[in-house]
Amino acid sequence: MPSAVGRIGIIYAEYRILALKKILRIGLSTKEMPLDKLVGDSRVSYGYANYGNIESENANENGVEIRENVSRFYTGDVVGCGVNWAKRQVFFTKNGQRLNITNLYVDEGTADLYPTVTLDYHGDAVEANFGSNFQYDLSKKF
């Protein structure tokens, strides 16, 4: 599993949505994230929800919690999440395209971040890709 060890380069993972009936969030969190929370609802976590919100309890530079509305995702879509450690910027992708998100940065003192998926329904399912043949081309985007 990719982590922030050394804090260089980019960590990234993609998830193909196999089944989706309720709330599903894809993102990054520390290992301390409570298991009864959705990714994005706890301190130092960042989540992209199927209903189209980017959510994080981390405050931006103005002390405001981050809530951005982007496109929804559905069964069959491929959703990615990563962090560019050189810029300390969290980013999300959908079907190979980077989403236009502003002000989503990791504080320098943040613990390691790990790819995280939270499912709200026992029948929902994703297939994870942690290493190769991504739909999003990391080499051309940074």
pLDDT, tens digit (0-9, with 9 covering 90-100), for 32-64: 888 888 998 887 889 999 999 998 876 555 444
Which domains, and CATH codes, for the chain? 5-133 (2.60.120.920)
- 10-19 and 78-84 as β-strands: parallel, antiparallel, unpaired? antiparallel
Residue 3, pLDDT above cutoff 50:
no
Name the pTM for this structure.
0.87
Residue 19 contacts residue 74 (beta carbons within 8 Å): no
Residue 28 contacts residue 83 (beta carbons within 8 Å): yes
Kindly provide the b/e burial profile for residues 17-53, where b requires at least 16 CB atoms within 10 angstroms of the residue's own CB: beebeeebbbbbbbeebeeebbbbbbebbbbbbbeeb
pLDDT at 108: 75
pLDDT at 105: 84
| Nearest CA-CA partner of 23 in 62, 59, 72, 61 | 72
Tell me, what amino acid is at 47? G
